[in-house]
Chains A and B, each alone.
Chain A
């Protein structure tokens, strides 16, 4: 096959996908503000997406905080800077690792689930059935999931921040020999409101990305079990990459 044709096909495919995603996002956002709004469904999705992600996010943050304390202690001791452990753990968790780790974990859990659920509804004609029953699939399926993820992610990250710092505290006091009161004092003194707030803003954006990718890939899926499988994979991969890219963009925006 002609290599130029392959490049051309790739580029055309890229723009086609970008266009489709843009239209999907526009439609989804427009339906967020237009009535009817299904509060019942939004609440149900908040439980499914947010509350049920707590264990996964909490454990991830706890261990990340713990390992961060260990590494910083090892690295810091080379410059006699061990005393910085608590402040760096606090800053690292709230500004960066809390939102990003939570985002990636929820992307794996939720994007995949949404893509599989909506994809199956697509291939079994349930989405067509919704429309024949005078119900807009965007309002009924996409909007509640988008809102639920965008609203609950900041709360999840707030909890991740607390548990992450707690992970660092436990490692710091139990195995690195820090004094508990001093450790907490140092963490609290160093953290500023903006550190936490910027992490929560990131979290909301990540939540939106996670639900959008899950819904988009599920909605576009076709071709039976294989199509749903592909949609699930694409949802997780694209959500993860977009989270990391958005994280960079937001960090340079929020801290500049």
Chain B
């Protein structure tokens, strides 16, 4: 595939309103092919909404979203859904289908989307589960018999099962202990490298951001307020970023807390 644009994913002045509430207020963001971008920012700043607009689960109110230079933000629903095969997404709560055993979760797209034979899909699922460090014994378990960390790993296996070009990670380490978080970080780096995919991760875990990101962007009140190499994040010269990465309550970002 030839890239017709320098950027794999490009957002220009993307707005998203829910009624009177402006969640995204003019997002501009570029991600190069094969790069891993981490988007940091506090809770409720619009990170998840941005991801859902890019992947097509939500339609932006206005603005342009381009994949390989092709405008996709305002395509009709069925054409938009046709682009889904380019994407893989790891959801915050893993979002595994609890009515299906682990292996069918992983092979879901292969069976439902690509119409692959069930035996073949099962083998493929086993291989992907091994890639995320899970033994074949978990294949026939139900997702709710697994621990949080294992569920995340199954979610990761499901996201990469059909070898997507673009992978999204929605708070991949939230709710995990620090060791399991690091295991997940390693797996993400490994999977993204192996596929050569473009990745966007949203997180507020700085250790994770440093590990899985090439580039970083910070989102605040629906705008990207800083954007650069993840290695430069410690001397960004931006007070908002400084406050966020050091986790200080005092600074330019004011939480909506009533002072006693």
Binding site for B on A (CB under 8 A): 121, 124-126, 128-136, 140
Assess whether B113 is in contact with A129, with CB atoms less than 8 Å apart.
Answer: no
> Are B112 and A133 in contact, with the CB atoms below 8 A?
yes
Cβ of B47 to closest chain A Cβ, rounded Å? 14
Task: For the complex formed, measure the closest distance between the CB of B183 and the CB atoms of chain A, giving whole angstroms.
Answer: 22
Whether, in the assembled complex, B74 has its beta carbon less than 8 Å from a beta carbon of chain A, the answer is no
| A208, B102: Cα distance in complex, Å | 32
Q: B55 is contacted by which of A121, A124, A132, A135 (Cβ under 8 Å)?
A: A132
Closest chain-A Cβ to B78's Cβ sits at a distance in Å of: 9
Tell me the interface secondary structure of chain B in the complex: mixed
A131, B113: Cβ atoms under 8 Å?
no
> 6 A–B contact pairs at CB < 8 A?
A125-B93, A126-B95, A129-B95, A132-B87, A134-B81, A136-B81
Q: Is the CB of B108 within 8 A of A135?
A: yes
In angstroms, Cα B52 to Cα A99, docked, is: 44
Q: Quick one: closest A residue to B57, CB to CB?
A: A128
Cβ contact within 8 Å between A132 and B93? no
Closest 3 pairs between A and B when the two form their complex, measured CB to CB: A134-B113, A129-B95, A125-B95
- Given that A125-B95, A126-B97 are contacting pairs, would A131 and B112 also be in contact in the complex, using a CB cutoff of 8 Å? no
**Given A134-B84, A134-B85, do A128 and B95 touch, yes or no (CB 8 Å)?**
yes
**CB-CB contacts below 8 Å: B246-260 with A:** none
Q: Which of A124, A126, A135 has a CB less than 8 Å from the CB of B112?
A: A135
Is B88 an interface residue when CB atoms closer than 8 A count as contact?
yes
Instruction: Give the chain A neighbours of B52 by CB distance below 8 A.
Output: 128
Which residues on A sit within 8 Å (CB–CB) of B109? Answer: 133-135
Inter-chain pairs besides A129-B91, A133-B158, 11 sampled, C-beta below 8 Å: A124-B95, A125-B92, A125-B93, A128-B52, A128-B95, A129-B96, A130-B97, A131-B57, A132-B55, A132-B57, A136-B81
B95–A135 touching, CB < 8 Å? no
Tell me how many residues of B have a C-beta within 8 Å of chain A: 22
Give chain B interface residues in 33-89, CB to chain A under 8 Å: 52, 55-57, 81, 84-85, 87-89
A residues within 8 A CB of B55? 132
Given contacts A124-B95, A134-B112, contact A129 B89 (CB under 8 A): yes
Residues of A with C-beta under 8 A to B113: 133-135
Question: Hey, which chain A residues are within 8 Å of B57, CB to CB?
Answer: 128, 131-132
State the Cβ distance, B160 to closest chain A Cβ, in Å. 12
Nearest Cβ on chain B to A52's Cβ, whole angstroms: 15
B81 with A128: CB separation less than 8 A: no
* In the complex, residue of chain B having the shortest beta-carbon distance to the beta carbon of A120: B98
| Nearest residue, chain A, Cβ from B168 | A132
Contact for A132 among B89, B96, B98, B112, CB less than 8 A: B89
Contact B89 A140 (CB under 8 A): no
- CB-CB under 8 A from A134, the residues of chain B are 81, 84-85, 109, 112-113
CB closest chain-B residue, reference A117: B99
CB distance from B113 to the nearest CB of A (A): 4
Q: How far is the CA of A124 from the CA of B92 in the complex (A)?
A: 9
Q: Smallest distance from the beta carbon of A241 to chain B beta carbons, Å?
A: 29
Smallest beta-carbon distance B232→chain A, Å: 32
- A contact residues around B95 at 8 Å (CB): 124-126, 128-129
Say yes or no: A133-B108 contact (C-beta < 8 A), given A125-B91, A126-B97, A128-B52: yes
Residue of A nearest to B58 (CB): A128
Most buried by B among A130, A133, A134, A136: A133
The closest CB in chain A to the CB of B91 belongs to A125
Nearest chain B residue, comparing its CB with the CB of A139: B112
Interface-centre pick from A130, A132, A135 (highest chain B CB count, 10 A): A132
A135: chain B residues at CB < 8 Å are: 108-109, 112-113
- Asked whether B88 lies within 8 Å of A132 as measured between CB atoms, the reply is yes
Chain B min CB distance to A57 (Å): 24
B92 contacts A133, CB within 8 Å? no
Known: A135-B108, A140-B112. A129 touches B81 (CB 8 A): no
A121 contact set on B, CB distance < 8 A: 97
The answer for the CA separation of A133 and B81 in the assembled complex, in Å, is 9
Which A residues touch B85, using CB under 8 A? 134
The residues of B that contact A128 with a CB separation of less than 8 Å are 52, 57, 91, 95
